[in-house]
Amino acid sequence: MRKDETVIVDTEIRHLAQQIEKLKRGQLCPKLFKKMRLQYGIYSIRGSATAYMARVRIPLGILRADQLDGLAQICDELIPARACHLTTRQDVQLYGIAHDRLPALFEMLARVELTSREASGNVVRNVTCCPWAGISTEEPFDITPYAEAVSTYLLRNPLTQLLPRKIKIAFEGCPTDHARTPIHDIGVVAALHNGERGFRIYAGGGLGPVPRGAQLIEPWTSAAWLLPTIEGILRIFERLGEREQRAKARLKFLVERMGWDKFQQAVLEERSLIWATQSGLMLWATASAEASPEPPSVRADPVVAQHDDPAIARWRATNVIAQKQAGYVSVIVRVPLGDITAAQLRGVARLMRERALSVRIMPTQNLLLRDVPGSHLRQVYEALERLGLARPSAGRLADVTRCPGADTCLSAITHPRGLAQALEDLCNDGLSALADEPIAVKISGCPNSCGHHLIADIGCFGMAVRQGSRTIPCYQLLLGGATQEGDARFGKRLVRVAARRTPEAIRRIVTLYAQERQPNENFQACVGRVGFAAFEQQVGDLTAITGDAAEADLGVDLGTTEPFTLDAGKGECAE
């Protein structure tokens, strides 16, 4: 951390501590404190007036070994569960931090150069990046330095402090859309033009109850114009975005209101003005990106030791991917339910040091261990196995993505953790033969799509249905969601089923796919060929809720034992 950054961070920590003391003495309005803490990435959690959730920004999802150790220490000292949660935006979330321990949290984060600053609020959120950047066999060049420059430039930037609504930015270097650029406010994709580095920049995407796909600003943008273009989008949004109706305040709605042609023209005109008056900081950020190309590398098959052990062979088949660096592979560390303990964090840090590895958080809530010598795979597997992290099926049916839901979120309806655990159990007993199928299942506790249900092969979002005197926790199932560069296909609604019937519904859907698919036919293609109605018919009998005594268990959500009550309110993500 640079000296000037250290001064800023120290000032922020002192200021937060002072405001907490004022709040205790009744000298600070709780509403003002709420606005301030949200800017610091601190959220209220369900069921507690004195404990909070902190979202820690992990720029590009990149974590050093000492930062993993720092997060482990925080989990041990400040978090009741001694664990943290990995998010779909490559952040880390920490739950249950006591009110008066917030300054201690910031101090502990600062020691390892992390912050929760601007991880929430009407700001530019954590800049995300393809976890394969720099090691992909597909990429034209490594986008990492460009994404880092943008992230550094926008954090604490005065322009981004009071936007009409949050802005999410993602960078992708591969033809495969790992970063999900079409669902972001701004998506940046690496592209060469006559051998020159540049990008295709998209704007106006987003999920939630009214999803939209991002659109292309221009056919190609040179690297020198990357920051001016992004700042141009932000300035137009800051100036013209909706500030009264929160439900219509995202960038996608400004694009709709203006019309794409008018919005595009405004951005390009604003970009020219920015270029004519660019600041020293912008010049530094652009230069730092252009001066940091990745070293040349040669594509070669890694030297991978073969193993007779079936468990290692299966893990290698689903979790190990060749890098473009000769003799090296990357390993997906599957983190079940996205939750990782302090002991596991320390274990991964130790493995990084012992084997000179790097790590990134993935949008699938897993970790990607990079630069693993192919000949060291057995040792890496054994180390991960001791940590309980050598699970196969990464990116497959058994690897379910989920948001925290009603366990902590104020606006959630259901508990996705319970459904995710039920599906994990089902893939161990019942669907074990299909656990490694490349089918993406994603779960959200409400329509807001924090679990990315809209872009999953099989998506689920929580809802509640009134049945007589009871309220039944349910999931709306969707089929056919996906993204590729320039195209977001949102899942089509299939049926609504009670939460406790949802594992069975998914079992039937996957079983029908296995029965009907043709050789090498993926899930989406099979649904398109067989027809949506066939899958709907397969689960149709699960949709009825009659209120019979035999259905008494339907009033209890998965992962809980208490009768379901609908107490979802306004989440602070909407503040």
In angstroms, the CA 436 to CA 415 distance is 25
Cβ-in-10-Å burial (0-12, 13-18, 19+) of 412 comes to: buried
The two structure tokens encoding residue 162: 């009071």
Cβ-in-10-Å burial (0-12, 13-18, 19+) of 33 comes to: middle
**Domain at 404-574, CATH from 3.40.50.620, 3.20.20.10, 1.10.760.10, 3.30.413.10:** 3.30.413.10
In angstroms, the CA 265 to CA 258 distance is 11
The beta strands (E) that lie in 223-363 are given as 320-322, 328-333, 339-341, 358-361
In angstroms, the CA 148 to CA 127 distance is 8
DSSP calls for 446-469: STT-TT-GGGSSEEEEEEEEEETT
Cβ-in-10-Å burial (0-12, 13-18, 19+) of 256 comes to: middle
The pLDDT tens digits for 410-441 are 999 999 999 999 999 999 999 999 999 999 99
pLDDT recorded at residue 301? 45
List Cβ neighbours of 329 (8 Å cut-off, separation of 6 or more): 302, 304, 320, 321, 322, 323, 372, 373, 374, 377
The two structure tokens encoding residue 359: 């790590």
Residue 246 clears pLDDT 70, i.e. is over it: yes
Residue 74 has, within 13 A of its CA and on its CB side, a CA count of 35
Confidence of residue 17 (pLDDT cuts 50, 70, 90): confident
Burial letters 204-236, b for 16+ CB under 10 A, else e: bbbbbeebbbbbbbeebbebebbbbbbbbbbbb
| pTM for the predicted model, two decimal places | 0.94
Confidence of residue 552 (pLDDT cuts 50, 70, 90): confident
Intervals of CATH 3.90.480.10 along the chain: 310-386
3-state secondary structure of 37: helix
pLDDT recorded at residue 404? 94
Confidence of residue 280 (pLDDT cuts 50, 70, 90): very low
3-state secondary structure of 374: helix
Confidence of residue 39 (pLDDT cuts 50, 70, 90): confident
pLDDT recorded at residue 318? 97
Mean pLDDT of 332-345: 97
In angstroms, the CA 45 to CA 573 distance is 12
* Fold observed for domain 3-111: Sulfite Reductase Hemoprotein; domain 2 (3.90.480)
Mean pLDDT of 26-53: 88
Give me the amino acid identity at 321. I
Intervals of CATH 3.90.480.20 along the chain: 3-111
In angstroms, the CA 221 to CA 200 distance is 6
Are the C-beta atoms of residues 493 and 478 closer than 8 Å to each other? Answer: yes
The two structure tokens encoding residue 15: 């200021």
Residue 538 clears pLDDT 50, i.e. is over it: yes
Average pLDDT in the chain: 92
Mean pLDDT of 323-338: 96
In angstroms, the CA 341 to CA 211 distance is 34
pLDDT recorded at residue 300? 45
Give me the amino acid identity at 124. V
Rounded to 5 degrees, φ, ψ at 375 are -75, -10
List Cβ neighbours of 348 (8 Å cut-off, separation of 6 or more): 68, 333, 359, 367, 369, 387, 389
What is the percent of the chain where pLDDT is above 70?
A: 92
pLDDT recorded at residue 263? 98
Residue 288 clears pLDDT 60, i.e. is over it: no
Give me the amino acid identity at 467. Q
Residue of higher predicted confidence among 33 and 294: 33
Residue 136 clears pLDDT 50, i.e. is over it: yes
Confidence of residue 302 (pLDDT cuts 50, 70, 90): very low
Looking at domain 138-290, its CATH class is alpha beta
Are the C-beta atoms of residues 99 and 46 closer than 8 Å to each other? Answer: no
pLDDT recorded at residue 447? 94
The pLDDT tens digits for 372-401 are 999 999 999 999 999 999 999 999 999 999
Lowest mean pLDDT among 71-85, 134-148, 195-209, 299-313: 299-313
Q: Which CATH architecture has domain 310-386?
A: Alpha-Beta Complex (3.90)
Intervals of CATH 3.30.413.10 along the chain: 138-290, 404-574
The two structure tokens encoding residue 254: 């400004």
CA 427 to chain centre: 23
